[in-house]
């Protein structure tokens, strides 16, 4: 009874915690959840940017969160529970993009990419899971990418992080299912967010002459794509609210016609590769003595 008295506005509402809500897709996700009548803990490294982007609502709490800092994640989780009493849906959305050929990405570039896009979601999930275990329910939505299914030229560090997110999430699901907690991986295609703007995209810090001509071409292409992506992030956010309403929610949502095409081709390629050397692959068992 005490919890109901402390959090009267959250009765019947889902409580979302959204990372990276200062710009891009995170803003649309926070707004869509609020529009659906839910409550949102919108987080970001710059709280003023989050407040400006998401707006004002009695069902909104803005909290500072750098996902690379576990202490920040733990503080955000506590703030969410203090304000709303629970956390029903975590959206691991925050991230950045280090673009470049592998040899031209320094070890520091790769560490920063993995810190934001792989270790970051792990930090926030680690902070939220005790809350969800205690309440016996929860839904962890992690934004992956088509680059979490297929490796692309000039995206080796980004794909490494997203492939890591995929394996981690798929392994996490059976571990937490007994507590009533579900996971969903989201594989967006090309959406008109700020991921490939100069606010989120960084080119490799090294330069090797052998790559120079191709590097210039690809840097020009990537820069030209900002604002030209076919996907509408507001529609993705609205779709995500629908996905979160499913019971049980899907383990994966491939978002965007281009992403569906990529996923279908990956499935065909993987099946063909698995079958290509079936006879050789099936001949590798120990020969047991008669």
Residues involved in catalysis: 144, 158, 162
Nearest to 114 by CA among 159, 174, 59, 168: 159
Strand order in the sheet with 15-18: 60-64, 39-44, 15-18, 89-92, 138-143, 181-188, 252-255
Residue holding tokens 């499913």?
Answer: 246
Write the CA distances from 84 to 58, 80, 81, 284, integer angstroms. 11, 6, 5, 56
Using DSSP, state whether 290 is helix, strand or coil: coil
Q: For residue 63, what are the β-bridge partners?
A: 43
Enumerate residues 6+ apart whose C-beta is below 8 A from 263. 146, 149, 187, 254
Q: Strand 181-188 relative to strand 252-255: parallel, antiparallel, unpaired?
A: parallel
């Amino acid at each position: 009874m005490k919890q109901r008295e402390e959090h009267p506005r959250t009765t019947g509402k889902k409580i979302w915690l959204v990372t990276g809500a200062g710009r891009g897709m995170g803003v649309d996700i926070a707004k869509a959840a609020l529009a659906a009548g839910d409550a949102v803990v919108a987080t970001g490294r710059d709280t003023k940017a989050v407040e400006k982007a998401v707006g004002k609502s009695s069902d909104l709490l803005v909290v500072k969160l750098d996902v690379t800092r576990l202490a920040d994640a733990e503080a955000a989780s506590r703030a969410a529970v203090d304000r709303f009493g629970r956390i029903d849906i975590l959206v691991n959305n925050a991230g950045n993009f280090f673009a470049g050929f592998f040899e031209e990405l320094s070890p520091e570039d790769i560490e920063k990419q993995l810190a934001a896009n792989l270790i970051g979601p792990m930090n926030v999930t680690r902070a939220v899971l005790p809350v969800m275990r205690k309440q016996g329910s929860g839904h962890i939505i992690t934004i992956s990418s088509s680059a979490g299914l297929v490796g692309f030229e000039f995206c080796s560090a980004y794909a490494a992080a997203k492939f890591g997110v995929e394996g981690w999430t798929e392994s996490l699901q059976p571990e937490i299912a007994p507590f009533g907690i579900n996971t969903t991986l989201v594989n967006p295609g090309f959406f008109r967010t700020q991921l490939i703007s100069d606010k989120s995209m960084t080119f490799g810090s090294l330069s090797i002459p052998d790559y120079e001509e191709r590097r210039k071409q690809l840097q020009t292409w990537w820069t030209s794509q900002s604002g030209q992506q076919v996907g509408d992030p507001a529609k993705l956010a609205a779709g995500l609210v629908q996905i979160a309403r499913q019971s049980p929610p899907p383990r994966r949502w491939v978002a965007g016609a281009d992403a569906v095409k990529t996923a279908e081709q990956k499935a065909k390629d993987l099946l063909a590769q698995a079958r290509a050397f079936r006879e050789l692959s099936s001949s590798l068992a120990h020969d047991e003595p008669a």
